[in-house]
């Protein structure tokens, strides 16, 4: 089974999204088992703006109060998730949209404050259950999973989609985890895509300023998955960065 995480501005580009979903459909129709995981931060931003709710972030995380959580859930588990399901259906793929909170597919704890700043309903992913995903795949249905996790006592938590994808890959025993994003891969100091990166090299890079922005949680999630049994990690599409064990 392979896990594919779709994110970045690709979710906002209908032409690129259609191209990627067509490639996924081709893999699925030739018998490959696939789980699609997605975020949708820009869609959340747009819906917050429509509702007059200010976007607040700290240390790269979205501060998620009650009103923001409502928008996050409605957007990720609702409009973005069902958009992907409908577009897959249009090209002949039976898909089912679920969120990480369904059947404990993703479990999380409340993220602790950072520098005394409370983040609200933000979660740290702690694990996942493969039960619902296996049930769907075994019946010929491609799971499309949004990054909303089950928190303590049945609460909902907003979690990083890269971390969610890694946890799902580990839970289902995936052979491969692919992060498809709007960048070609991981860039080195000269601005060139790194074709292959060993885990120890990736760890070292995280201690430098070469890896910045959204690439940091992506690389951290990739390393966690690699260290937990996922055999192949790719960041970017064909020609991107392959992460391999040390």
Query: Hey, what's the torsion of the CAs at 79, 214, 122, 55, to 10 degrees?
Result: -70
Contacts of range 56-63, beta carbons closer than 8 Å, 24 or more positions apart: 58/114, 58/115, 58/117, 58/119, 59/114, 59/115, 59/117, 60/213, 60/214, 60/216, 60/217, 61/111, 61/114, 61/119, 61/122, 61/160, 62/122, 62/158, 63/117, 63/118, 63/119, 63/120, 63/122
Task: Assess contact for 223 and 202: CB atoms under 8 A.
Answer: yes
* Set 102, 218, 236, 240: catalytic member: 218
Residue 123 is a catalytic residue = no
* Set 5, 123, 128, 240: catalytic member: 5
* Set 39, 40, 97, 162: catalytic member: 162
* Set 8, 39, 40, 120: catalytic member: 8
Residue with tokens 């971390």: 163
Beta bridge partners of 62: 57
* Set 39, 40, 41, 214: catalytic member: 41
- Residue 171 makes CB contacts below 8 A (sequence gap 6+) with 105, 127, 128, 129, 130, 133
Residue 41 is a catalytic residue = yes
Residue 5 is a catalytic residue = yes
Q: Which residues are catalytic?
A: 5, 8, 41, 162, 218
């Amino acid at each position: 089974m392979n896990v594919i995480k779709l994110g970045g501005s690709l979710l906002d580009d209908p032409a690129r999204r259609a191209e990627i979903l067509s490639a996924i459909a081709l893999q699925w129709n030739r018998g490959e088992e696939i789980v699609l995981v997605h975020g949708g931060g820009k869609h959340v931003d747009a819906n917050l703006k429509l509702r007059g709710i200010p976007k607040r972030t700290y240390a790269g995380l979205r501060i998620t109060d009650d009103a923001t959580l409502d928008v996050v859930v409605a957007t990720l588990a609702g409009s973005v998730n069902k958009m992907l399901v409908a577009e897959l259906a249009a090209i002949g793929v039976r898909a089912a949209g679920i969120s990480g909170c369904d059947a404990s597919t993703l479990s999380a704890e409340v993220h602790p404050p950072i520098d005394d700043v409370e983040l609200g309903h933000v979660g740290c992913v702690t694990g996942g259950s493969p039960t619902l995903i296996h049930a769907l795949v075994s019946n010929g249905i491609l799971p499309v999973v949004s990054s909303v996790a089950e928190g303590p006592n049945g609460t909902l938590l907003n979690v990083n989609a890269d971390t969610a994808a890694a946890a799902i890959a580990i839970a289902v025993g995936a052979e491969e985890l692919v992060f498809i994003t709007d960048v070609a891969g991981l860039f080195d100091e000269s601005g060139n895509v790194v074709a292959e990166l060993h885990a120890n090299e990736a760890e070292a890079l995280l201690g430098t300023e070469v890896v910045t922005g959204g690439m940091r949680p992506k690389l951290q999630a990739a390393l966690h998955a690699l260290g937990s049994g996922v055999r192949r990690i790719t960041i970017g599409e064909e020609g991107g960065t392959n992460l391999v064990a040390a």
